Amino acid sequence: MINRILVCLDKSTYTDSAIDYACWLAKHHDASIEGLVVLDVEGIERSVGPVPLGAMRFAKTSIANKEESYHVLMEELLEKFSKRCESAGVRHTEFEMQGTPAEAILHESNYFDCVVVGLRTFFTYESGAGADGEYGTDDDEPGDSLEKIMGQSLAPVFAVPLNWSPDNELSALIAVNGSPHSMRALRQFARLYGRCKVKITLMHCSDTGNGSTEMLTKSAALLRAHGFDYVESKTESGDVREVMGSGYCEPFDLIALGANGKGGVVEFFTGSLCRDLIERGDKPLLIANG
């Protein structure tokens, strides 16, 4: 059961999609949401650069002005979050933190059942929309908070692309290989999407083209026990990063996979695959960890 959802708010329009999904998930589970904003103190200090001898007062003033401007932005983000939650009829709270964004989010996420964040993150002070001032274009300057969060969060992380909104009927691709990381993705998906109308494809990749019939059969049985009526199993031949190209993933509304893994047998679930999908930026991801 999902009772508490943490949604991470930044200055980008990816935040709008993150709030929409968090509200949808909260209504589905009768859960509450916390909207979190983080003041990137270290980033603001770095933006001032080296301070020449005798210029410390100017540097401190510049930092204070930037912090004040950022506080205004944080208040605007929390106000927008609150209004959207109230419009959706969702219980919510707001919270501000200071520090390194990824570290602050990871600390707060310990007390929540799942984390919702944009597929591109702009929590750090230096990140932004680039010269054109528009998020979702090639000159964006995103931060690396998502990669840090997905590698360490105890809670599942839902990464939402720009201009994406959930639907009560969707199709999901769950990548499995029998490792603890893939099984965690399977179980966390069942928790997050139980009672939804979802068409699920379980996909196993093998260099030899041979799949584990028992593993796929038991995985499908677990999902059906959680109320998912449509579950299909597939075994594909080849390297998973090549198989899961944009063409293969195109029919699916959501991709679920594990975040960690080291060594040959779980190479399927190393961060490299997650990074590929994040870089592509066209599909929402459920990233299992913990």
Between 72-76, 154-158, 210-214, 248-252, the lowest mean confidence (pLDDT) is in 210-214
How confident is the model over 48-57, as a mean pLDDT?
54
269 by DSSP, 3-state: which? helix
Structure tokens at 279: 């870089």
With a pLDDT cut of 70, the percent of the chain lying above it is 87
Q: Are 5 and 31 in contact (CB under 8 A)?
A: yes
Predicted confidence (pLDDT) at residue 90 exceeds the cutoff of 90: yes
**Across residues 45-66, what is the average pLDDT?**
61
Say if residues 165 and 199 touch (Cβ distance below 8 Å): no
Give the residue range(s) of CATH 3.40.50.620 domains in the chain: 169-288
CATH of the domain spanning 4-158, picked from 3.40.630.10, 3.20.20.10, 3.40.50.12370, 3.50.50.60: 3.40.50.12370
Question: Could you give the CA distance from residue 35 to residue 7 in angstroms, rounded to a whole number?
Answer: 5
The boundaries of every CATH 3.40.50.12370 domain in the chain are 4-158
Give the model's pLDDT for residue 20. 94
For the chain, give the percent of residues with pLDDT over 90. 48
Q: Considering the chain, what is the average pLDDT of its residues?
A: 85
Average of pLDDT values for 104-127? 93
CATH number belonging to the domain at 169-288, selected among 3.40.50.300, 3.40.50.720, 3.40.50.620, 3.30.460.20: 3.40.50.620
Give the model's confidence band at 262: pLDDT under 50 very low, under 70 low, under 90 confident, else very high: very low
1 DSSP 8-state letter: -
Q: How confident is the model at residue 61 (pLDDT cuts 50, 70, 90)?
A: low
pLDDT number for residue 202: 95
Rounded Cα–Cα distance for residues 230 and 199 (Å) = 5
Given a cut of 80, whether residue 207 has pLDDT beyond it is no
- How are beta strands 254-258 and 285-288 bridged, if at all? parallel
> Within 13 Å, how many C-alpha atoms sit on residue 29's CB side?
20
User: What's residue 62's pLDDT?
Assistant: 67
Where does the pLDDT of residue 231 fall: very low under 50, low under 70, confident under 90, or very high at 90 and above? Answer: very high
Quickly state the pLDDT bin for 111 (edges 50, 70, 90): very high
Per-residue pLDDT band at 263 (split at 50, 70, 90):
very low
Per-residue pLDDT band at 266 (split at 50, 70, 90): very low
